[in-house]
Amino acid sequence: MPRTTTLGQYIVSRLEEVGLKHVFGIPGDYVLGFYDMLIDSSLDVIGTCTELGAGFAADAYARVNGLGAACVTYCVGGFNILNAVGGAYAEKSPMIVLTGSPGMDERQHSSLLHHQVRDFHTQLEVFRQVTVAAEALEDPHRAPDQIDECLDLCLRQKRPVYLEIPRDQVNAKVRAPEPLQLNRRKSDRGALNEAVAEAAAILKGAKKAVILAGVEIHRFSLQEPLLELVEKTGLPVAATLLGKSVISERHPQYLGVYEGAMGHDKVRRTVESADAVIILGAFMTDINLGIYTANLDEGRTVNAHSERVSIKRHHFDEIVLRDFIKGLTKAVPKRRRVKIDRPAERPFKVRPKAALKVRRFFDRMDEYLEEGNIVICDIGDSLFGGSDLTIHKRTEFLSPAYYTSMGFAVPAAIGAQIKNRKLRPIVFVGDGAFQMTGQELSTIARNGLNPIVFVLNNKGYTTERFIAEGPYNDINDWAYHLWPNIVRNGWGCEVRTEGELEDALVQAREYRTSFSIINVHLEKYDTSKALERLGKRLSKRAKR
């Protein structure tokens, strides 16, 4: 007789099999039966303050660990997490969204059940727009295949999937799981050989080539193949903003972040003057390209990502990015390393009584970072100022640099640290973004995490001020440093001068039992150079 299990246990066993250790979320009556199964499993369930916080935490967990998961209730929970799932889809972060729904039997007795919006499949149809697969597990005979296909697509495409569990199906009998079989994508050997040969010929003939690496290097764990290519070719390598930290930024061949006119002029000139640009795993978005101030000639590029390889104006499909990078590394001759002139490092000299300025603040933070830190930036000046920080190791910089949703950073600190307590987050968040999700400090305190959170407090939405000024950009000035009083844990202070910042940095580093929050007072229009350039560019576009 075939072995059986319950539908809920089938899902749990698959989550354990693919290596998950934590699930984030908030319970509700439609999903309580499945929550009990999660609690009884090897998985740790991390309850957050909001479903949006759970989504951002699961997204960050996936970026650091390769896969994340969140579990919420029907509609009121699902639609709350939707924004985070949309960001994960846009930026290729593999997460599993689990939700309950009304039971199949109770649907027969009433067409109007609580949390319902339009009909019973409204939430399912919405999530189909922001995931690579969305399934309602309404038939126990089909459910195992639906679950396995969703997991396969999530891991293969590095984007979210959605599984909806009617509450009376949690204990429905289904066939017991066999070992999970994942469909590994394979390259078309002829297309791969032709693309590699053409790209290698371009590199061999180039006098000033450069590599530009993007976010898919993170998502598909291609840091090591990238490093092998960089070291064999001796070429300089730049990163897109979303791809920042694809390689240690202390590597002698690392140029910096390429973001058109928003970035450092030396990086821009090096990339744009190259006679061959090897673009690997990059999203060519408006933010990555400095609001299209980048000047990349398609006729000089080899652009390889997970869906296609384009060489000048030739296009090759059915090529796995890993195979292309490894093939190119093998095909090109070893070259002497291109020397990159770096400005001499000058120790930061504190001006104790000087008012804090954004540019000076990030200069000081660049020295403050140490081994074991992971930098998490919300959008705005937290991101643009943070883009100049030197990240010590690979994949230690997280930010929603394409989707640019405010409120990412504080809950992302949960997902980044919960599995590896030795990885201490350094969080940069604007006051506007903090007011959206800062209550997740309660989740951080409850779980004994210890990020250092810097709230860049300029009393409003500074990025918007440079696009179009108006009273809608002003927000109430909170006493952010007093959050430890609210959650009854943590340490906080406020700083206005460089001297006060120095004292705060020492205390925050030494305080390791819970979070530290530093309220960094800044002038209303004080910004990084990158944000000022970006704001001016956006302002011109907004007024067309």
Q: 189-331 has which CATH code?
A: 3.40.50.1220
Contact 358, 381 (CB under 8 A): yes
The more confident residue out of 247 and 165 is: 165
| Mean pLDDT for the chain overall | 91
User: What dihedral angle (degrees, nearest 10) is formed by the CA atoms of 255, 257, 258, 260?
Assistant: -130
The pTM of this model reads 0.93
Q: What are the two backbone dihedrals, phi and then psi, of residue 127, each rounded to the nearest 5 degrees?
A: -70, -20
**Spatial distance between the Cα atoms of 378 and 384, rounded to a whole number of angstroms:** 9
Q: How confident is the model at residue 312 (pLDDT cuts 50, 70, 90)?
A: confident
Give me the mean pLDDT over the 263-282 stretch. 88
State mean pLDDT over 286-302. Answer: 67
Q: Please give the Cα distance from 508 to 492 (Å, whole number).
A: 8
Q: Would the CATH topology of 4-175 be identical to that of 358-542? A: yes
Question: What would the pLDDT profile of 324-375 be if each residue is shown by its tens digit?
Answer: 999 999 999 888 888 777 766 778 899 999 999 999 999 999 999 998 999 9
Retrieve residue 381's tokens.
């000046």
* Domain map (residue ranges) of the chain: 4-175, 189-331, 358-542
pLDDT score recorded for residue 338: 80
pLDDT of 288 strictly over 60: no
Higher pLDDT, 430 or 393: 430
Kind plus residue range of the DSSP H or E element containing 428: strand 424-430
C-alpha distances in Å from residue 249, one per residue of 198, 252, 387, 500: 30, 8, 11, 29
Confidence of residue 1 (pLDDT cuts 50, 70, 90): low
Three-state SS across 293-362?
A: CCCCCHHHEEEECCCCEEECCEEECCCCHHHHHHHHHHHCCCCCCCCCCCCCCCCCCCCCCCECCHHHHH
Lowest mean pLDDT among 229-233, 367-371, 534-538: 534-538
Whether 544 has a pLDDT exceeding 60, the answer reads no
Q: What is the pLDDT averaged over residues 428-453?
A: 97
Average pLDDT over residues 371-397: 86
Choice among 95-99, 285-289, 391-395, 458-462 with the minimum mean pLDDT = 285-289
Of 306-310, 341-345, 407-411, 424-428, which range is least confident?
341-345
pLDDT band at 534 (very low <50, low <70, confident <90, very high): low
Query: Which numeric CATH code is attached to 4-175?
Result: 3.40.50.970
- Cβ distance 68 to 24 under 8 Å? yes
Q: What is the pLDDT of residue 261?
A: 61
- CA dist., res. 27 & res. 99, Å (int): 9
* Region 232-242 average pLDDT: 93
Band of the pLDDT at 109, cuts 50, 70, 90?
confident
Other CB atoms within a 10 A radius of the CB of residue 464 amount to: 16
Give the 3-state secondary structure of 199-241: HHHHHHHCCCEEEEECCHHHHCCCHHHHHHHHHHHCCCEEECC
User: In Å, how far are 332, 356, 465, 529 from 462, measured between CA atoms?
Assistant: 47, 16, 5, 13
Helix (H, G, I), strand (E, B) or coil at 33: helix
Q: Is the pLDDT of residue 290 over 60?
A: no
pLDDT average, residue stretch 121-148? 97
The sign of the torsion formed by the CA atoms of 383, 386, 388, 394 equals negative
**Please, which pLDDT band fits residue 210 given cuts at 50, 70 and 90?**
very high
Q: Is 228 exposed, middle or buried (0-12, 13-18, 19+ CB in 10 A)?
A: middle
State the CB neighbour count (10 A cutoff) for residue 350: 14
User: Read out DSSP for 66-132?
Assistant: S-EEEEE-TTTTHHHHHHHHHHHHHTT--EEEEEEE--HHHHHH-S--TT--SSTTHHHHHHTTSSS
Which of 21-25, 35-39, 401-405, 512-516 is least confident? 401-405
Which whole number is the average pLDDT over 389-414? Answer: 88
Which of 329, 409, 417, 405 has its CA nearest to residue 372? 417
Residues 6+ apart with CB under 8 A from 488: 445
Return all residues near 486 (Cβ < 8 A) that are at least 6 apart: 442
**CA distance linking residue 315 with residue 309, whole number of Å:** 6
Task: Please state the length of the chain.
Answer: 544
| CATH topology (fold) of 358-542 | Rossmann fold (3.40.50)
- How far apart (Å, rounded) are the C-alpha atoms in residues 375 and 387? 10
The predicted structure's pLDDT at residue 130: 97
For 450, the token pair is 């210890």
